[in-house]
Structure 1
Amino acid sequence: MRKALFFLLILMLTACQEEDAEPAPEQLPEETAEAVASPEVRVAEFIELWKSGDFPAMHTHYLNQGTQAVYGEANFVTWQQELHEQLAIDNLEISYTPVEDGDWTPEQPADFAIQVAFDTIIGPVEFEKTLTLLYESHGEVEDWFVEWDPSFILPNLEAGDRVSTEIAQGPRGEIVDRNGNAIASNNTGYEVSIIPENFDESKKQQLAELLGMSEQAIDDKLNQSWVQPHYLVPIAQIKADQSTLDELFTITGTTRAEVDMRNYPYGRALSHITGYMGPITAEQLEAWSGEGYSAETMVGRQGLEEILQERLRGAAGGRIILEKQQENAVITSVENEPIPGETVALTIDAELQQTLYGAMEEQAGTSAAIDPDTGETLALVSSPGFDPNEFVPNITNSRYQELANDPLQPFFNRFAAVYTPGPVIQPITAAIGLESGTLDPAEGLDIAGNSWQRFASWGDYRVTRPRADVPNPIDLDKALVYSDSIYFAQQALNMPNDDFRIGLENFGFGEEIDFPIDLSPSRISQDGTFGSEGQLAGTASGQGQMQVNILHLATLYSPILTSGTLYKPTLLLDDEDQQVWNENLLSAENAELLRMSLSNAGTELGTELAGKSGTANERGEQNAWFVGYSLVNPDLIVAMMIEGEEGVEGMAEQVLEARENE
């Protein structure tokens, strides 16, 4: 077990016999030696004060005279307050075992079995003790008073003991893909510490350069309120080569210890899924108050590292050590083995994710791949990414600013955002029309020109199509092959009442996506309705105010392959597969019609895919889209968007061909 020395607390518990010790308790007259009230009320009150940390009241009103004489109030209070702070004692629970039918007399002590449990920086501490009460006269008060010693703070603690603490942090759990490939794993790094009284101050600049930090940052660590000259003070964690370690070793007063350090084997390709580790923020420290975190803790800062923090976090272990003054010996008061964090497996295929990311050539865009028969998310890419390894253990401010100011915005998570989808939404419009019964796939429409409006009341708005040279009549197959926006506008307008809007809602538009990583939900419009006929007509081809999330878009095509069932997208491998989002969205016959048309559309593009491509205007720029699947193995749907780029179909084909060749 690798152990890291986190701090050294030296607390001298002195048995301070005050010069003017209080007299021994008065002996009660012989005639009062008879049954008295049960001490149980006093036990319960004492325990409540103990749990609330009201040590002054415990000392003044509940300790017996002998204990008060040995342990003055200042020592009694200070010992416990300092130990509570330095050991991060929390969640203190104390209970006692009631004594049934006790025969209580003032001459006999009253014993109660108590159980003590609390959390510390080395994990939970539990022990049992016997709490003894004596019946005494304190001034005008005759009652039961507690006999106390330091072993009620920690097992085997005695006056005069020196207390130190070693911490061994449980290793953080790994994140792995569906095949067990590590996505976020642990490597060996080093924690460099200083013993102030031994440190060669003339080497501070050298140390700062080796650690990649400023001299002021080192001073800030050494000037923390708890630091004493003989304490071991952690300064920084580093990834270091042997030459750096050798040079560090020459600086007097420094030590190094091995620590686990995060590693991200797939780097940029999975950066927006994994996120990264970093020092805990003030907001996180406040949100996780009372859960054993300190200002020095490294935690997940983005992505699944942050979302799965509690599952991945290992539980600390270690030892509370007592250096016995009287016996001149060192013993262990409490020892806990550290507990590793949980290994979390994802539905992601990391090799497929890397292939998708590579195909996008770090151009700005996003892509997703799903299994249509299960809803499992096999890839989810935001491009360009960033290398989360640069954050281990800390990214320099200059490098962070360089990434933050990159015009391609590598920190922006595009797969969590929504975009105008354009013609790739047309198969969904067709599915709704087919099920509504208003769209006859064999019926051809005569459409003239490249723009159209139903009524002059539409004003300047007209529906435009990319090609006007496609020979009439235009049926469903031609409309999908050539992205005929006018055809789909007319089909949407032919649907009665709110059939088109309701159909889109049945496909999940307007619903929050139940997913571990927050994803913006796809929407029909800003308010979920059509403000005009023109807006409805544009939405039929993914324009108007429609916005779609890339993972949802890939999922929208799955009922075409499942004959009508839409499954919720999942990311965690231990989640149940085939969680039905909605069903009966398409009949088997209509699903087959759409599969044939998508196959024809892919052939027209010159690919071996079935799918739909197109471009959409997004804030004055054209984004290129493709959604489709392999005709050979239709077990994978890929959706891809590249900002301002054409030829996206070839990127998708490259990915699907690589999949077939595995």
Structure 2
Amino acid sequence: MSVPTHLGTRRMRGMAIAGIASTALILSSCSGDPPDPDPAAEAVAEALVSGEFGGVALAGAAASDVEAEFEEIVEGMGGLTRSVDVRAIVADEELEDAWAVTYDVSWNLSGDTNGTGGEANGDDAPPDDEPDDADETDDASEEDGEDDPGEDDSEASASVEWSYSTTARLILDDEGEDEQWRTEWAPSLLHPDLESGDRLRLRRQSAERAEIFGAGGSVLVTDRDVFRIGIDKTKFDDGTSEGDMVAAAEALADVVGVDPEGLGERVRATGDQAFVDAVTLRQTDVGSILNDIEDIDGAVALPDTMQLAPTREFARPILGTVGDATAEIVEESEGRIQAGDLVGTSGLQRQYDERLRGTPGLQIQIVPSDGDPSTVHENEPEAGEDLVTTLSIDLQMYAEDVLSDVGPPSAIVAVQPSTGHVLAAASGPGSEGYSTATLGQYAPGSTFKVATALALLRAGLTPDSSVECPDTINIDGREFGNYSAYPESALGEITLRTALAESCNTAFIGLNGEVPQSALAEAANSLGLGLGNENELGYSAFLGSAPDEADGTAHAASMIGQGELLASPLAMATVAASISAGETVAPRLVEGAGETDPEPSVPFDDDEAEQLRDMMYAAVDSGSATFLQSVPGERVGAKTGTAEYGTDSPPRTHAWMIAIQGDFAVAVFVEDGDSGSQTAGPLLEEFLSGI
């Protein structure tokens, strides 16, 4: 380990003794020409850093004994590193043939480099067995790697140091063949207030975790009342057998719905004073089971608070969860987090954990072998900084309610076109904790035809241009057709407006020669698809991808939103929002993040948007989305979408719909459905009708 020592020590020593020449002369006359004390002083500095004293010439002590005592002194410091610099060497005022060495000692309080941890949380520490909170803090959201859990919006914590000075005495040993400077060992070498038998102890106090807010200042995540439910082994009568304790644990597990065998084994493995958690539940969710818990020996429900959203399901894949720091999180933190700390374990809670968590308080004490500890250094905890999102609590909860009975993975995303604010990003129960809404990657199917239509407008067509819509069309030996319920009245020569309103696959595929793949990708980009990454947006999201190159059947498939095209529900809601706004929209979820809008390679203007809106309105007025005519409020424009996938025969299909209404843009998605109008359509109608 390198030791930061001053290279100018010899020069400093010369300056320090310039005013005490007579003392120096005495040393010289008594000792002849003693060795340079600099190497001895620096060896002590190295030892105070490493704890290894084999390279130090000690006076009256064995290196092994000193090392053992030193280890005991620093054991409670949680592995914090320190640096030791030689500040000055002056002639000792009390002894001849001796030097007094002043050291500057600095502890790095920002990090725990070996993960051993100190005495976390100090007097505010929870019981030794902190509950895993199986109900509220399990991590089941960012599973595809889109969200780098170690990444935070903040820069690494600024260095926090504890600095002071200490002194050592070098005594000349001239009894052997070679004179050398020996060091007198005492605990005060490490800190001036340390005496024999004392040890240092680091205590940490968690800072108040900040809250997460939504649109209009609504509180999304805050401290809410919970019960920490478990087995308190101190509640058993003397003489209660281990078997009876395990039986009580298994009975409690049955009541709260956790693994009986696992809870029983943990009760068996812990000490007599342990609290063994089973689950943490919101107090509003406990209901009548409190009586059942009271009837079980040793079972308790301890009132507590925990940072939670309004409901267990509320935007859970987006907001994430808070829980005990895992070994991986502790390692990735480079010492800023220790075992036992409460941290964000997924979603925004993890991505912005450093900001939300704040800075823990630190207290360093000298603990004597007998008597009360004394505090020699203290930093007060600094509360975290609130995070503000754009989510509307009412819209998010309503979207989740609309999806509550949908079996396959599903999503509803609502974006405000004028601001780009993401008002709702709901993933249904079939998503099983994954953020289908923001991270799903699916072929967008016919909802992508609005981007294809934009490319065709740029190629010179208008909504009134005549196009051919045959029953089927063959491209390089592959036959494409329309969806099974396509109306015969819309076959033959129709307008581009009708082709989009009725969603004629063959018409769009037949126009593949009008726009190369690069133009199709540019049009998608102009509508926000694939534009922007996590760093620009400030949250984990997939905004789609459209390949620049494709030909033959691959390009033909791209014309109708298949092939290699991918989008998330958030991406398609962004496409709809751009059409509504008349400019490229960047979806905003976290205020203050991603303030610089990513620019498309080809700008999108309101004249193009007006033509696309006209065609989307036609889909509701007379096309495949006429069922939306009954939606109250402003005029609705929409586009249905169905995308085939997989190798089944007939193939399985994704069901999509996008819609615009006033300053509102929505995308609805169901992973497995019959069609956009039949599966996603009713969900969209319910959502728009209820907002």
**Residue 414 (structure 1) aligned with residue 436 (structure 2):** yes
CA drift of 1:325 comes to 5.3
In structure 1, the residue corresponding to 2:171 is in which secondary structure?
strand
| Partner of residue 610, structure 1 | 637
| Partner of residue 680, structure 2 | 648
Pairing 1:257-656 to 2, within 5 Å after superposition: 261-288=306-333, 290-294=335-339, 296-317=340-361, 319-322=363-366, 324=368, 328-363=371-406, 364=408, 365-384=410-429, 408-415=430-437, 416-437=439-460, 439-447=461-469, 449-453=470-474, 458-464=476-482, 466-470=486-490, 473-495=493-515, 498-504=518-524, 507=527, 513-514=533-534, 515-520=537-542, 522-524=544-546, 529-532=549-552, 534-563=553-582, 565-577=583-595, 579-582=597-600, 584-604=602-622, 605=626, 606=629, 607=631, 608-619=635-646, 620-630=651-661, 633-634=662-663, 636-642=664-670, 643-644=672-673, 646=678, 648-656=680-688
Normalised to the residue count of structure 1, the TM-score between the two structures is 0.74
Normalised to the residue count of structure 2, the TM-score between the two structures is 0.71
In structure 2, the residue corresponding to 1:557 is in which secondary structure?
helix
- For residues 551-602 of structure 1, the C-alpha deviation after alignment (integer angstroms, 9 at most, x for no partner) is 1111123332333x32333322121446133265333322211122222223
Distance 1:108 1:275, change over 3 A: same
8 Å CA contact 2:413, 2:570 repeated in 1:
yes
1-side partners of 2:660 and 2:450: how far apart? 14
Distance 1:287 1:331, change over 3 A: closer
| Partner of residue 13, structure 1 | none
Pairing 1:194-205 to 2, within 5 Å after superposition: 200=238, 202=240, 205=244
In structure 1, the residue corresponding to 2:643 is in which secondary structure?
strand
CA drift of 1:623 comes to 2.9
1-side partners of 2:222 and 2:295: how far apart? 26
In structure 2, the residue corresponding to 1:552 is in which secondary structure?
helix
- For residues 626-649 of structure 1, the C-alpha deviation after alignment (integer angstroms, 9 at most, x for no partner) is 11121xx32x21111123162534
Distance 1:286 1:126, change over 3 A: closer
| Partner of residue 405, structure 1 | none
CA drift of 1:431 comes to 1.0
| Partner of residue 30, structure 2 | 32
Distance 1:568 1:316, change over 3 A: same
Higher mean alpha-carbon deviation, 335-344 vs 254-263, is at 254-263
Distance 1:463 1:586, change over 3 A: farther
In structure 2, the residue corresponding to 1:580 is in which secondary structure?
coil
8 Å CA contact 2:91, 2:99 repeated in 1:
no
Distance 1:380 1:39, change over 3 A: farther
CA drift of 1:174 comes to 2.7
In structure 2, the residue corresponding to 1:445 is in which secondary structure?
strand
5+ long unaligned stretches in structure 1: 1-27, 223-228, 385-407
CA drift of 1:259 comes to 6.3
| Partner of residue 167, structure 2 | 131
1-side partners of 2:91 and 2:601: how far apart? 67
2-side partners of 1:82 and 1:160: how far apart? 9
2-side partners of 1:77 and 1:359: how far apart? 67
8 Å CA contact 1:315, 1:341 repeated in 2:
yes
| Partner of residue 130, structure 2 | none
CA drift of 1:77 comes to 1.8
| Partner of residue 48, structure 1 | 46
Distance 1:74 1:641, change over 3 A: same
2-side partners of 1:598 and 1:167: how far apart? 59
| Partner of residue 215, structure 2 | 178
Higher mean alpha-carbon deviation, 355-364 vs 99-108, is at 99-108
| Partner of residue 18, structure 1 | none
2-side partners of 1:644 and 1:256: how far apart? 44
Query: Please, what is the CA RMSD of the aligned residues?
Result: 4.2
CA drift of 1:156 comes to 3.3
8 Å CA contact 2:471, 2:491 repeated in 1:
no
Which one-letter code corresponds to 2:164 in the other structure?
E
2-side partners of 1:247 and 1:149: how far apart? 56
2-side partners of 1:497 and 1:258: how far apart? 61
8 Å CA contact 1:374, 1:577 repeated in 2:
no
| Partner of residue 87, structure 1 | 77
2-side partners of 1:430 and 1:292: how far apart? 52
Distance 1:582 1:499, change over 3 A: closer
1-side partners of 2:108 and 2:237: how far apart? 36
| Partner of residue 258, structure 2 | none
1-side partners of 2:373 and 2:435: how far apart? 54
CA drift of 1:482 comes to 0.9
1-side partners of 2:472 and 2:489: how far apart? 12
8 Å CA contact 2:357, 2:383 repeated in 1:
yes
8 Å CA contact 1:452, 1:464 repeated in 2:
no
2-side partners of 1:576 and 1:371: how far apart? 16
Distance 1:214 1:76, change over 3 A: farther
Pairing 1:3-14 to 2, within 5 Å after superposition: none
8 Å CA contact 1:369, 1:554 repeated in 2:
yes
8 Å CA contact 1:38, 1:104 repeated in 2:
no
Higher mean alpha-carbon deviation, 38-47 vs 419-428, is at 38-47
2-side partners of 1:211 and 1:77: how far apart? 49
2-side partners of 1:307 and 1:373: how far apart? 27
- For residues 310-345 of structure 1, the C-alpha deviation after alignment (integer angstroms, 9 at most, x for no partner) is 33334443655555457x455334444333333222
In structure 1, the residue corresponding to 2:413 is in which secondary structure?
strand
CA drift of 1:354 comes to 1.2
Which one-letter code corresponds to 2:467 in the other structure?
L
2-side partners of 1:164 and 1:366: how far apart? 51
| Partner of residue 225, structure 1 | none
Distance 1:246 1:451, change over 3 A: closer
| Partner of residue 11, structure 1 | none
Paired-residue identity, %: 20
In structure 1, the residue corresponding to 2:401 is in which secondary structure?
helix
5+ long unaligned stretches in structure 2: 1-25, 110-117, 122-159, 254-261
Distance 1:377 1:233, change over 3 A: same
In structure 2, the residue corresponding to 1:430 is in which secondary structure?
helix
In structure 1, the residue corresponding to 2:511 is in which secondary structure?
helix
CA drift of 1:82 comes to 4.1
